Structure 1
């Protein structure tokens, strides 16, 4: 399953987040896959697509970063899959 993970950097401190990332990597448990990420122009948020079949693994990853990041997690599907699912109702 795919998730859009919206990270709100606490105190807008992107440097602390990137410092930890540089020193310790993503710190993801096995079973969580990073797909891609984007950072807002004001350096206050990061948007990541992650894949994971066990939501507790994603929760474990969030807990490791919770001192620096506040998380919003949204389960997502590709738009083409949603369009196909709705095709007979359009």
Structure 2
């Protein structure tokens, strides 16, 4: 399953986040896959797409970053898949 991760940098401190990333990497548990990310121009937020079959992997990853980042996690799927699922319904 894929997830849109919306990260809000605490105190708009993107530098602290990137400093840790440079030192320790993403710190993802095995089984959690990074797909892509985008950062807002004001360094306030990061948007990431991640994939895993076990949501507890996301929880372990969030625990590593929660002192620097506030998370919103949204399960997502491709629009084409949703369109196919809705074809012929009501």
Tell me the distance in 2 between the aligned counterparts of 1:41 and 1:80.
29
List structure 1 segments (4+ residues) > 6 angstroms apart after TM superposition: none
Tell me the distance in 2 between the aligned counterparts of 1:42 and 1:86.
37
Residue 24 of structure 2 aligns with which residue? 24
Q: Provide the secondary structure at the position in 2 that maps to 1:17.
A: helix
1:89 Cα offset (Å) = 2.3
Tell me the distance in 2 between the aligned counterparts of 1:12 and 1:53.
31
Aligned length: 90
1:56 Cα offset (Å) = 0.5
1:37 Cα offset (Å) = 0.2
Residue 13 of structure 2 aligns with which residue? 13
Residue 40 of structure 1 aligns with which residue? 40
Q: Deviations along 1:3-34, whole A, 9 cap, x unmatched?
A: 00000000000000000000000000000000
Give RMSD over aligned pairs.
0.8
